[in-house]
Amino acid sequence: MKGTAARMGVMKRVSLVFKAKANRALDKMEDPRETLDYSYQRQLELLTKVRRGVADVATSRKRVELQMNQLQQQADKLQTQARKALGMGREDLAREALTRKSSAQTQLDELATQYAQLQAEEEKLTLASQRLQAKVDAFRTRKETIKATYTAAEAQTRINEAFSGISEEMGDVGMAIQRAEDKTAQMQARAGAIDELMASGALDDAVGGRRDDIQSELDMMSASSDVERELAMLKGEITATAPKQLEGSASNGSGQGSQAPQQPQQSEGPYAPPAPPQYAPPPPTEPVQQPEAAQQSQANGLPVADLPGLADEPQDGDRS
């Protein structure tokens, strides 16, 4: 035979822990009827809490779902990029895109596991909420019966039974809520981290490289032919107009201190000329005088211009 006192087993010990908890709560109450009402109040509070718990888990689950969609889009995009890169003969780029896709897929798989966990948690909590609701209803009925039928002294035993029955359920539900909260918190921390990674583009960094550099390189490749064509066009224009412009800008620019910064560009020749002809010609004195003249005419002119206008109105008014 086993020593039963020391070895009562896990199940029995856990049940004793629950009972001890219920008894401690009962001992605090002086009036048994007070116990009933107080306990009922707490049951209603717990019901509210467990329902909120269900809603919180659902919110968290939806967030994971959203992220899974985003990651799926990312994976699809990388797949398209890989195909495009391969079509352009860039196997290196295609390999890079596929590597990243695999990384996104890994994240996706992890999220899928978490999604399933949250879903299971939501179901458990929903069931717990339904069980608690049934027990709370039963308790309310029992409470009224006890109050109506028994004297305070007689009621004690019945109350203890009802109380320990419901308090075990409440302890169970309370732990379930706590677990769900912990899981949700973990999940949210992780979801937050993934959101940040997505926002910063660092998720693409998982295998090294800048954000979307695959796309930019692909874009660059298709754009480069256009660039070459335009470059050739520009070169054609420059060689056609360059000789005249060089002469003009060199003679005009030589004496001007105020336009000194432009001179090095002009004197460097072939690449600068297209722009200067329009800006270079003005003689040294004009740029200095023009601003002053403008300021003077503004300072004096505005009031003068306003005065006639103001003077006109009184004139109109004088007619009366």
Partner 1 sequence: MIVRILSGGQFRIDDEAATQLNQMDADLEAAVEAGDEAAFTDALTRLLAHVHAHGAPLPPDILESSDLILPHEDSSMDEVRKLLTDEGLIPG
Give the one residue of 172, 195, 212, 213 binding partner 1; rule: CB under 8 A: 172
Of 4-12, 84-92, 146-154, 269-277: span binding partner 1 (CB under 8 A) = 4-12
Q: Does residue 131 touch partner 1 according to CB under 8 A? A: yes
Are 277 and 253 in contact by the 8 Å Cβ rule? The answer is no
Give the one residue of 33, 40, 51, 165 binding partner 1; rule: CB under 8 A: 165
Number of other residues whose CB lies within 10 A of the CB of residue 136: 20
Question: In whole angstroms, what is the distance from residue 114 CA to residue 183 CA?
Answer: 9
Question: In whole angstroms, what is the distance from residue 168 CA to residue 160 CA?
Answer: 12
Cβ closest to partner 1, residue 106 vs residue 149: 149
Question: In whole angstroms, what is the distance from residue 153 CA to residue 155 CA?
Answer: 5
Of 52-60, 133-141, 186-194, 257-265: span binding partner 1 (CB under 8 A) = 133-141
Of 16-24, 90-98, 234-242, 304-312: span binding partner 1 (CB under 8 A) = 16-24
Question: In whole angstroms, what is the distance from residue 143 CA to residue 160 CA?
Answer: 11
φ, ψ for residue 301, nearest 5 deg: -70, -35
Cβ closest to partner 1, residue 181 vs residue 205: 181
Cβ closest to partner 1, residue 96 vs residue 169: 169
Q: Does residue 7 touch partner 1 according to CB under 8 A? A: yes
Are 101 and 79 in contact by the 8 Å Cβ rule? The answer is yes
Q: What are the residues whose beta carbons fall under 8 Å from the beta carbon of 98, sequence distance 6 or more? A: 78, 79, 82
Are 201 and 211 in contact by the 8 Å Cβ rule? The answer is yes
Residue tagged 């005088």 (tokens): 289
Cβ closest to partner 1, residue 124 vs residue 190: 124
Q: Does residue 9 touch partner 1 according to CB under 8 A? A: yes
Cβ closest to partner 1, residue 134 vs residue 294: 134
Residues in contact with partner 1 by the rule CB under 8 A: 2, 7, 9-15, 17-22, 25, 42, 124, 127-128, 130-131, 134-135, 137-139, 142, 161-162, 164-168, 170-172, 174-179
